[in-house]
């Protein structure tokens, strides 16, 4: 089972290795958790990245290794840079870090690939996200507008794809979500409660879903999308009416019931 979990987590990266080859690979905190617990650095280096760096701490020095490799291979010192960024937050939440990573390398950047752990549908279902059902193309336009002041960036090639990054293995049969991912952080409410649930009533000991009848998302929307992605990655099928026990499970089951049934996937981009 452990091999199944690891293979399922690695498969999307293998299917997209051609995008990572020769690029500086930036991982946000959630993606770094996935790398350290499940993927393994030898596997990531094997994808062909010239450097692996923290997205939140992006620096122009991250390109030094790329420069040395190009020099050793006899390439021009005026080499270009390709960036691959893996994010486990909503694109809108990661925008400042993405913009910084592009800006620190200036006009040397000619290609940018962003792998988002959440699909366009997941973005559109999130009330706090300003992007719609074509979230990736919308964000490409917004990003171009944000960096248009940098010379030559009008020709920057931007490609945004969905790549599930949900499976952090604990042992042969246990997995958790990256704790820094939006699916995890959005689900954390106040006073030890799940987002969207009120604190337990002192007399009855029960919680109430604050969003009932209000049309807002519960805070568990991204968690539901993540679970659908995991189900698809593992090649399993989800019941049309999920069984639940307790108020939190009820909210999550409602979210899952409102999503399209996940189709088992054998390549990246599904889920």
Cα(62)–Cα(52) distance, rounded to whole angstroms? 8
Distance CA 69, CA 63 (A): 10
Query: Residues 130, 14: one domain?
Result: yes
Each residue's pLDDT tens digit, 83-115: 999 999 999 999 999 999 999 998 889 999 999
Confidence at residue 203, expressed as pLDDT on a 0 to 100 scale:
44
Do 96 and 195 lie in one domain? The reply is: no
Distance, CA of 135 to CA of 59 (rounded, Å): 27
Structure confidence at residue 269 (pLDDT): 42
* Whether 131 and 194 share a structural domain: no
Contact 195, 187 (CB under 8 A): yes
Cβ-contact 56, 88 below 8 angstroms:
no
- Show the domain range for 222: 168-257
pLDDT digits (tens, 9 = 90+) for 224-236: 899 988 988 888 8
**What residues have CB less than 8 Å from 125, skipping those under 6 apart?**
217, 221, 225
For residue 67, the model assigns a pLDDT of 57
Q: Is residue 269 part of a domain?
A: no
Between 230 and 127, name the one with better pLDDT.
Answer: 230
Asked if residue 185 and residue 148 are part of one domain, the reply reads no
Q: Residue 171 has what pLDDT? A: 84
Q: How far apart are CA 264 and CA 116, in angstroms?
A: 19
Residues 75 and 136 in one domain: yes
Distance CA 152, CA 86 (A): 24
Phi and psi angles of residue 107, each rounded to the nearest 5 degrees, phi first:
-75, -5
* Reported confidence tier of residue 149, pLDDT bands at 50, 70, 90: low
- Regarding whether 41 and 88 lie in a shared domain, the answer is yes
Same domain, 143 and 174: no
Residue 128 pLDDT > 90, yes or no?
no
DSSP state of 264: P
**89 and 195 part of one domain:** no
CA atoms within 13 A of residue 91's CA, in its CB half-sphere: 30
List the CATH number of the domain containing 11.
3.40.50.2060
The span from the first CA to the last CA of the chain, in angstroms, equals: 20
When pLDDT is averaged across residues 61-81 and rounded to a whole number, the result is: 63
In this structure, of 55-59, 174-178, 207-211, 238-242, the range with the lowest mean pLDDT score is 207-211
């Amino acid at each position: 089972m452990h091999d199944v979990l690891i293979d399922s987590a690695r498969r999307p990266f293998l299917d997209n290795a051609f995008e990572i080859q020769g690029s500086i690979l930036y991982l946000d905190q959630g993606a770094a958790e996935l790398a350290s617990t499940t993927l393994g650095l030898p596997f990531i280096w094997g994808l062909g990245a010239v450097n692996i760096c923290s997205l939140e701490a992006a620096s122009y020095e991250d390109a030094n290794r790329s420069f040395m490799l190009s020099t050793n291979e006899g390439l021009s010192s005026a080499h270009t840079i390709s960036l691959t960024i893996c994010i486990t937050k909503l694109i809108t939440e990661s925008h400042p870090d993405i913009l910084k990573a592009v800006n620190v390398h200036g006009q040397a950047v000619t290609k940018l690939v962003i792998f988002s752990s959440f699909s366009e549908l997941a973005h559109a279902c999130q009330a706090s996200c300003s992007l719609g059902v074509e979230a990736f193309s919308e964000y490409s336009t917004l990003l171009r507008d944000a960096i248009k002041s940098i010379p030559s960036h009008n020709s920057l090639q931007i490609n945004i794809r969905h790549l599930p990054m949900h499976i952090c293995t604990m042992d042969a049969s246990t997995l958790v979500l990256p704790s820094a991912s939006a699916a995890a952080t959005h689900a954390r409410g106040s006073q030890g409660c799940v987002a969207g649930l009120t604190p337990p009533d002192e007399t009855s000991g029960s919680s109430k879903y604050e969003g009932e009848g209000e049309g807002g998302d519960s805070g568990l929307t991204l968690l539901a999308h993540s679970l659908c992605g995991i189900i698809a990655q593992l090649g399993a099928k989800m019941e049309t009416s999920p069984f639940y026990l307790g108020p939190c499970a009820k909210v999550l089951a409602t979210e899952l019931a409102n999503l399209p049934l996940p189709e088992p996937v054998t390549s990246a981009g599904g889920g």
